[in-house]
Amino acid sequence: MKKFTVLKLYLAALITGAGMLLGGCRQTPPERDFYEDVRSVDKLVFAGMSITKTAKYENSEWYKVGKRIAVYSYDTYMRAYIDMSLLTPDDIRVDEEKKSVQITLPAVQTELVGRDMTLRKEYENIGLFRSNMDSRERAEIKEKANESLVSEVKENPKFKRQLTEAAERKARGYFEALFARQGYRCVVVFKK
Amino acid sequence: MGKLFRSIIVAAFVMVVAAAVVWCLIPEKKGDVTVKDGEITGLEEMVRICTVDIYNEMPVKATVNRKMLFGIQKQTGSISFDIEHLEADNTGDTLRVWLPREIVEIHEATEPNSWEVIDTKGLTLFTSDRMTINEENRVKEKLKEVAVSRLYRNGTVKRARAEARGTLARMLANIYRKPVIVSDSTPNGQPRRL
């Protein structure tokens, strides 16, 4: 009888141990949080720019017969705006006698808006014995092109300069025309 | 002698076929990517009020031509209004303007890894697991449509229009120095047919 109880206890311990081991080894699926943000803004956009990036992929191995070349392109978009929440009542000065207005606008800011989701196929030459390009390879090509564009926009002032100049020109024209309809001469100044 | 010769020929043939199959199955190594400098292809002047900026990160599971793609995409977008050619009535003591149709834009983000492909697979035995660029573009166009219609469904467009009414009224009141009424005949927005 005693022998039986000892055996039962032994079995129970074994089952519990095995359960704990199995529980410890169970793989939980990798979790990832997805983020969503809808933000209220007060932007007055005066110019937009599209920048085309072209990337070439080439893979030639000595033991493979046939070429594997692909060229893709896509557009990335930038915009120039003024943040209207930074405009205060003191920034608009009206001289009723001279019928003139001076409006001091916040500095023009630029930002990358996003890029095309789709890719344009400019050229593809995949040999008969080579594999077609796959989605993961295309995603990697786009990633490299994007890295290059982001650093180009940071380092090369030509993108921001052209966009800012266009936005300032448009903003001047817009406000001058608006006030002109009221019979006022408008001078637009930008904060730096 | 003839039998031995025939066996050698058959064995050699089998070995050549096997070698060819193995050779074809060797996976492609990573290739070299050369990126050209960015080229400005468009510069457009506009006057738009932007009231909502959107950022969205979402898992993508899409099927096209019996091929399935699973990935993760980061999207950016905005809702804006063209106020350059506003419809207005400035005849009385009050300025009345009509809020135009919203411009809903959704793009892929430019931050790192905004388009990650986790896996693609063929859903039947004889379907390749590689999507062509046209198939992938169809998936992406569908994603865009879904994202835009979601903004109408979840009230984001409605919110953007309400905020645009306030912003526009404040701005025009400062300029015209008289009461401004911004009318909106479609407060929930008007989805465009894609």
Give the number of other CB atoms < 10 A from CB of residue A53: 23
Q: Is B65 left (phi over 0), alpha (psi -120 to 50) or beta?
A: left
**Mean pLDDT over the full length of chain B:** 92
User: Which B residues in the span 79-118 are in contact with A, Cβ-Cβ below 8 Å?
Assistant: 80, 84, 90, 105-110, 112-117
Identify which of A68, A143, A174 has the shortest CB distance to residue B28. A68
Q: Do A35 and B57 make contact, defined as CB atoms within 8 angstroms?
A: yes
Sketch the domain layout of chain A as residue ranges.
42-190
Identify which of B31, B36, B129 has the shortest CB distance to residue A58. B31
| pLDDT, tens digit, 9 for 90 and up, residues B152-192 | 999 999 999 999 999 999 989 888 888 999 999 999 999 87
| pLDDT, tens digit, 9 for 90 and up, residues B42-90 | 999 999 999 999 999 999 999 999 999 999 999 999 999 999 989 889 8
3-class SS of residue B138: helix
Asked if residues A142 and A117 have their Cβ atoms less than 8 Å apart, the reply is no
| pLDDT, tens digit, 9 for 90 and up, residues B118-130 | 999 999 988 999 9
Of residues A58, A77, A76, the one with CA closest to residue A68: A58
Of residues A45, A46, A47, A42, the one with CA closest to residue A84: A42
As a whole number, mean pLDDT of residues B32-51 equals 96
Which helix (H) or strand (E) segment is A179 a member of? helix A158-180
Asked if residues A162 and A170 have their Cβ atoms less than 8 Å apart, the reply is no
Asked if residues B79 and B51 have their Cβ atoms less than 8 Å apart, the reply is yes
pLDDT band at B193 (very low <50, low <70, confident <90, very high): low
Q: Give the whole-angstrom CA distance, residue B162 versus residue B164.
A: 5
User: In terms of DSSP H, where are the helices of chain B?
Assistant: 2-25, 133-153, 156-176
| pLDDT, tens digit, 9 for 90 and up, residues A86-131 | 988 889 899 999 999 999 999 999 999 999 999 999 999 998 888 8
ipTM of the complex: 0.87
* Alpha carbon of residue B110 to chain centroid: 12
pTM: predicted TM-score of the whole model, two decimal places:
0.84
Q: Hey, of A38, A58, A62, A116, which one would you mutate to test binding to chain B, going by the most B CBs within 10 A of its CB?
A: A38
Distances (CA, A) of B110 to A51, A60, A143, A151, B51: 13, 30, 9, 11, 21
Two tokens, residue A141: 């090509």
| pLDDT over 90 percentage in chain A | 65
Local mean pLDDT, 10-residue blocks, chain A (192 residues):
52 53 47 79 96 94 85 98 90 92 96 97 92 94 97 95 97 94 92 86
